[in-house]
Structure 1
Amino acid sequence: MLRFIIRVTCCCLWLGAVQAAGSIAPEPAFDGSPPPAPPLRAADPTPETLSATELPPPALQAGERPSALEAEVARLRSRALSAEPQPGRVAREQARASWLLGLLYLHGIGVTASPAEAAVWFERARALGEPLAAAGLAWCEIDGCRTAPNPAEAQRWITLLRRVDLPRAQYLQWLVDERLSPLHLATPGLRGEPASAPPAPDRQLLLSAARGGNVHARIELGFESITANRPAEALEHFRAVASRSQAASANATLLSERLRITPPARSPASAADAFARAQRNHRGEGQPANFVEAIRLYRLAQSQGSEPARRMLELIFSRPGPDGQVDVAWMQQLAYLNLVSGVPALDSTTVRRALRREPTPLFDMLPAYLRK
């Protein structure tokens, strides 16, 4: 027993000596506090030396890269503003570049839209010998690129344009006449007399421009046909220039859809005949009045597409008699009501609002690769 006690005492003394020498780490105290941070080594950077500059730069976003259109604008500007104008091919290239820059600024393609800047480029193109620049200068007078619109001042540029693009000159002349028409209407007559009727824009100019291939004249004829309730004719006008005009193409698509969903018109002759017979029975023309037969024939005419017949039936049944049947006195009052003026099958006003024109009469002069 004594020997066992001596051994235990020796072990305890040995363990105490080892702990004092630091060979074995003491058991951690579980008091809930976090362990101390390890000391910084010489090779470790301090927090102050870490910065974002050590990270790789972010990749360039797609929107920050110059687009092909922006690059083309820069190329045209460099060409237009190259050294002093020179004769021959270089001068023609400078003039062409200036002309295209004017069109780009006018329509806001690749640059911020600025009609005033467009006018400057048109003038430069004209000075360098670009004959089509007359179209740009004429439009600036008509629409007012830098000052108030002054269509009358466009005349000299239109005269110059006739030599190189007659259909466009004819369309611009028609446009000038149209813009000036309200001014004529507002001009009072002398001595208090009423002013004479304003001269209507020469439609022959519009027709000639369209026959010559002008896109905008064709689109305008399409609008005229819609107003006159001739949608099939309007569709032909739009289709004729759809390959050269996004607006005309969109109009043709819209009109085709409207015509497809519009019920086909009944035979106008049959509807008109039924309506005429209904009126004879209603009025008693050449025969005794027969309201029952008149109503039957009005319904027949309505089923064949007669708008006046539909309106007459609405009126007849809008005021029934005390017994709920047809009021004979009311029928007699309606007998001579004129309802012949019909309503178009297509709502031309709604369709017209949905149709488009090109932004300007010069839009088609942009090369296809620059158009949006």
Structure 2
Amino acid sequence: MPSSAPGATMGPDKSEWVHESPEITELKRKALRVAKSNVPVLLTGENGTGKEVLAHFIHNNSATKEVVDKKPFIIVNCGAIPEDLIESELFGYEKGAFTGAEHTKEGAFELANGGTLFLDEIGELSLNAQVKLLRAVEYQSFRRLGGKQEIKVDVRIISATNVILHDAIKSGDFRQDLFYRLNVIELYIPALRHRKDEIPLLTEHFLKMFSEKYNIEKLYIAEDCMKCFKKYNWPGNVRELKNIIERCVVLSKDGVIDRDVLPQQITSQGCLPAERTTNDFNKSEGNFLEIEIGTPFEEIEKKVIQQTLSSCNNNKSEAANVLGVSRKTLHNKLDKYSKKMSEENASNP
């Protein structure tokens, strides 16, 4: 088997998907349908939500296990490769193509032939690299750096980003034509703070994983510790929870994980003193919205949308998912409010 490039690696199997929320169950159903086709897929969501896990899941369900085991899964971290190396990482190079090219090297597209190429952090690609990638994705062919021969491949393209590509297109940082080519199907993974019901299940999964890794007998998590987990907003999502559980397993004593082994960011933000009231918590966290009785429905809707956008860091895809509407519906409502405000300003100079 050809060796992979520094930026293009054979990914370890991360296909185990622990979940129970309705949102992730529905996402899994969509992913299973997508897996049977070979269309480009764009995975979106915050860092740490599990985009690589989802990419593996799609790859592993594209055929029978016997066939999948023979199909490569190649990962390219687009944000970790210097701009002057990205072309050779993606397409390889011929011997003598540049100083130091002492032998021919296959790039990620060739290594992934017959399988899946996972382009992580696709929003970090330079515009120059985007042009070259567009052609390879569209025609499933390319030339090695310094080569003249057109090489045809059969590759499933799965891309992932935590960048809002619609905004990157508007700012000129991402090509619209490449976006449409990669975004034939978009699968959005909601943040952990919007599916906190899964925290106990994920916690048990990671407890078992790290207990086995460090050869520690079955551990239990104290009730007050789990309450902290449920109140904390997990900016690092599932990846952060996994890292915290590993820390807790290593520092645990007497078979129990309690608050003493939690890092400060969780105990200070996730665990509130008992004397604080529920109403105080709601106001301080910004998870609730107080609306005066008699407020017009349109004004209520506007406030809910604004508050949700704020809680999602202005990520419209995530806000639409939380509100249970399509991104287009959310855009239409925002446009309506903006137009109405402009009209009111014009009539009241």
**TM-score range, shorter-chain basis?**
under 0.3
Larger RCO (alpha carbons 8 Å, 6+ apart): 2
Question: TM-score normalised to the size of structure 1?
Answer: 0.25
What's the TM-score once normalised by structure 2's chain length? 0.26
Which one has a bigger Cα radius of gyration? Answer: 1
More helix by share: 1
